[in-house]
Amino acid sequence: MKKIATSLFVLLSSVAANAQTGFQGFYDREFNFDLLHIAGTLIGIFLFTSFFLAIFRLFLDGRIKKRMIEKGVSENIVEQFLQPTKTDNKGVAIKWFLIMACTGIGLFIINATLPLGIHSVAIMALSISAGFLGYYLFIRKSEKK
């Protein structure tokens, strides 16, 4: 919760630091340029750190399993740790497909309803939430089978 509050504070303080006479928002080219670069940088940092955390986790898991075998831990415990984690690749692929498809549809609708404004944000929020709703319905339907 503290991370979310801190992130919101930093985001709002950056908008307040741009204190102009009126909020130009989506019509200001410099603001759009800065917003695009900041968002791209944050996404890049997230992808970079999540990649290295996943690699680090795999490395440490391998070391733990190797030491457990060397120490002679009971077979039941080693067997539990050595079982590969099951990932639902089909579910992950469907989730990202639905989210990206709905985001694309939202961007298409925004392009059709120019000029950009607060309604554009509402369209994107509704389209992304529709993607998550579709994923939820897919998961619920697959669990019933």
Q: What is the pLDDT of residue 86?
A: 67
Q: Which residue has the higher pLDDT, 108 or 29?
A: 108
Per DSSP, the residues of 112-123 read HTPSPSHHHHHH
What pLDDT digit, counting tens, does each position of 126-137 carry? 999 999 999 899
Q: Is the pLDDT of residue 21 over 80?
A: no
Claim: this prediction has a pTM higher than 0.85: no
Residue 33, exposed/middle/buried by CB under 10 A (0-12, 13-18, 19+)? Answer: exposed
Q: What is the pLDDT of residue 15?
A: 61
Q: What is the pLDDT of residue 87?
A: 66
